[in-house]
Homo-oligomer: A and B are copies of this chain.
Amino acid sequence: MANVITKKIYYHDTDAGGVVYYANYLKFFEEGRTQYLEEKGIYTEKLLDENIAFVVAKAEIEYKKPVRYKDVVDVITDVEQIGNSSIVFVQRVIKNNIVCCKGKITIVCVNTQLKPIRIPDAVRNLIMEEINE
């Protein structure tokens, strides 16, 4: 039950090596996670009004194939695991059916003091529906 966004690569994504700069995949992954959550009806900016935020705690990125200027890629986002206060996403950047970059991103639900808190049940249920489908 993955979520897909499609992105065209612009100069601002690339570096002088002629390829997408290694940090910029994390921007694509932010966009992919946001889209994933919004499709389930989860809007992080509304959670902020209740003093609930999600922060990235860990990112493991594998760079497999270069992506270049004007390439068009799919960013595929899945939830692999959901714990008490954390969600583990697996995200892939795909070009012509080849995985160019893969990320495993752990986000943690925190309060305004940045202390981990239990993910609200409403949020959890919306994601679990997805995982169980």
Contact = CB atoms under 8 A, between A and B. Distances in A.
A63 B68 contact: no
A26 B34 contact: no
Nearest to A17: B11
Interface string A5-33: 00010111011111101111011001100
A1 interface: no
**Chain B CB within 10 Å — which of A8, A16, A69 has the most?**
A16
A45 interface: yes
A2 B51 CA distance: 39
Contacts of A14: 15-16
Given A11-B15, A16-B16, A70 B45 contact: yes
A98 interface: no
Most buried by B among A11, A27, A31, A57: A11
Interface of A: 8, 10-12, 14-19, 21-24, 26-27, 30-31, 34, 43, 45, 53, 55-63, 66, 68-70, 114
